[in-house]
Chain A
Amino acid sequence: MQRFAATRHSPGVSVEPPDTDLLLRSRAHPEAFGAIYERHARAVHAFLARRAGQSAAQDLLGEVFARAFGARTRVVPHASGSALPWLYGIARNVVRAHLRHAPAGAGLADADLVVDWDAVDERLDAGALRHELWTALSALTDGERELLLLVAWEGLSPSEAASVLGLTAGAARSRLHRARVRAQAALDASVRERMDVRVSREP
């Protein structure tokens, strides 16, 4: 039995209500939550696929929205009107729980950074990219990595990413700036290093 399961629909032809409106409505009319799914399922799937791999994303997508539906009366949407920061917060918890139960050897998640690095490695099978991403991110703390990825991978604003991580917008902005500078410096240093290696190997 499905209750109020909204079916797929063609893209909206009139002005779409902001998520805050849909969430408010879903309080009184739970079926309105179906519209939140149609709007954000792809973005949440991409979040899951980036961090935990395609096959885990497939398994976890429904769980994120089932949890979100159960928590819809507790949500305080971001001032931007988007439900995505909230949904990503739930998705992080789902990925974290998934990694805890994953077989030994799978990537481990810590409190701040929720990424299955094995899955990321698998996804980025192009060796160079993988190496560079490692180089850039290993220069950062876990909290900085998560912030950077929420902005760069998920496309959140710094203020939205701050709300996912429980930071103030100001703290997030300065942390993000520091993270970018350090990550870029690590990339540059690694390029220099490789060039040095090459130079020193020349006869």
Chain B
Amino acid sequence: MNLDELLSETATVAEPAPHVLESGRRALGSAMSDPVDAVASSQAAQRPRRPQRRRRLVLVAAAVAAASVVVLGPVTDLGGGPGASAAASQVLLRAGAAAGAQPGGWPDAAYWHSISEHRRGADDPVQRREIWLGHRTPGALVDPVVAGGAAGAVVPLGVAGFPAGAARLLSWDDLYALPTDPAQLERNLRAGIDGAGPDDDTELFVIVGDLLRESPAPPALRKALWEVAARVPGVELVGSVTDGAGRIGVAVERDTQRYVLDPTDGRLLEESNGGWRATYLEQGPAEGVQR
């Protein structure tokens, strides 16, 4: 018998029944709602984690950075040193101060509503995304990419969660309980990284974006997040840019991850990574899911 025929005949298996697909979908759904368990149960299956040695070095560096702030005060952050470049740091701290000057927060809002535009690559069409993140109730998403290309289809979401590292998903209330002192917040966020991303600094810079985009983070936390970004080594100032919506902002970048922020109010206007680009048009509290 011909080998190819043999292999092709022996490859035949039955399609999964709908209930099998549904039960897989449920297992994934519960992993999404509780990534800590999912990750813990899957450690053995993952590619090897980053060497522990690197991790300890990073933690030592973080401890040193924190100690220097205690002794010398935050002004040392402007000097560059182990954190972002002096120019990037200045922009981030200014944006943080502007964000922190906004009033209050939204600890009791029912939903957080965001509208954004996403582009896969420079030559691809811009697609609109609208999301309602539920504080204590299920939310909803309209995003043709997630809905498999179906424009206008509403994808039901669970209660909102905000990723912060591989094994950590914060609730709305968790966001309001995070420390707003930058050194404490940095320690807190670094502790949750736990091997995610190519290295801790890269991951920390990404987590800043994770907690700012489509997020009801209060002004005090937004301020602290930009201050944490200013402490990440390798962050450079790109300068003044015009975003996808024609707004003028200031861009900072680390490797390929770029944030465009509005220095006057500390808003995250846009982010990009390679060709991928997300432009955040508007966001704010909402009482319900309304289209």
Residues of A near any B CB (own CB < 8 A): 1-17, 21-22, 24-25, 27-35, 37-38, 41-42, 45-46, 49-50, 54, 57-58, 61-63, 65-67, 69-71, 73-74, 89-90, 93-94, 97, 120, 123-124, 129, 132-133, 136, 148-149, 152-153, 180, 183-184, 187, 191
Q: A70-B38, A74-B196 are in contact. Are A32 and B145 (CB under 8 A)?
A: yes
Q: A3-B33, A93-B45 are in contact. Are A37 and B25 (CB under 8 A)?
A: yes
Contact B33 A21 (CB under 8 A): no
Q: A4-B32, A58-B16, A61-B16 are in contact. Are A10 and B150 (CB under 8 A)?
A: yes
Q: A17-B145, A24-B276 are in contact. Are A33 and B13 (CB under 8 A)?
A: no
Contact B10 A133 (CB under 8 A): yes
Least Cβ–Cβ distance between A72 and chain B, in angstroms: 9
Contact A94 B14 (CB under 8 A): no
Q: A28-B209, A191-B1 are in contact. Are A35 and B31 (CB under 8 A)?
A: no
Kindly list 5 other residue pairs between chains A and B, CB separation below 8 angstroms, not including A25-B145, A73-B196: A14-B144, A32-B146, A69-B31, A70-B39, A133-B6
Residues of B near any A CB (own CB < 8 A): 1-4, 6-11, 13-16, 20-21, 23-35, 38-39, 41-42, 44-47, 118, 120, 141, 143-151, 153, 155-161, 163, 166-167, 169, 195-197, 203, 206, 209-210, 213-214, 273-274, 276, 278
Contacts of B273 in A (CB 8 A): 24
Contact B24 A37 (CB under 8 A): yes
Contact A90 B45 (CB under 8 A): yes
CA distance A180 to B5 in the complex (A): 12
Q: A65-B27, A67-B38, A187-B1 are in contact. Are A6 and B146 (CB under 8 A)?
A: yes
Least Cβ–Cβ distance between A140 and chain B, in angstroms: 11
Contacts of B155 in A (CB 8 A): 6-7, 9, 31, 34
Contact B166 A183 (CB under 8 A): no
When A and B form their complex, what is the total count of cross-chain residue pairs whose Cβ atoms lie within 8 Å? 229
Contacts of B145 in A (CB 8 A): 17, 21-22, 25, 32, 35
Contacts of A93 in B (CB 8 A): 44-45
Contacts of A73 in B (CB 8 A): 166, 196-197, 203
Contact A65 B24 (CB under 8 A): yes
CA distance A65 to B24 in the complex (A): 8
* Contact for A13 among B38, B47, B150, CB less than 8 A: B150
CA distance A125 to B148 in the complex (A): 38
Least Cβ–Cβ distance between A56 and chain B, in angstroms: 12
Contacts of B146 in A (CB 8 A): 6, 25, 29, 31-32, 34-35
Contact A3 B169 (CB under 8 A): yes
Name 28 A/B residue pairs within 8 A (Cβ), A-sorted.
A1-B33, A1-B158, A2-B32, A3-B32, A5-B26, A5-B28, A6-B155, A9-B147, A9-B150, A13-B150, A14-B149, A27-B206, A29-B214, A34-B28, A41-B25, A42-B15, A61-B27, A62-B25, A63-B27, A66-B42, A67-B31, A70-B46, A71-B42, A74-B195, A97-B45, A152-B4, A152-B11, A153-B7
Contacts of A191 in B (CB 8 A): 1
CA distance A8 to B206 in the complex (A): 29
CA distance A61 to B210 in the complex (A): 29
Contacts of A66 in B (CB 8 A): 27-28, 30-31, 38, 41-42
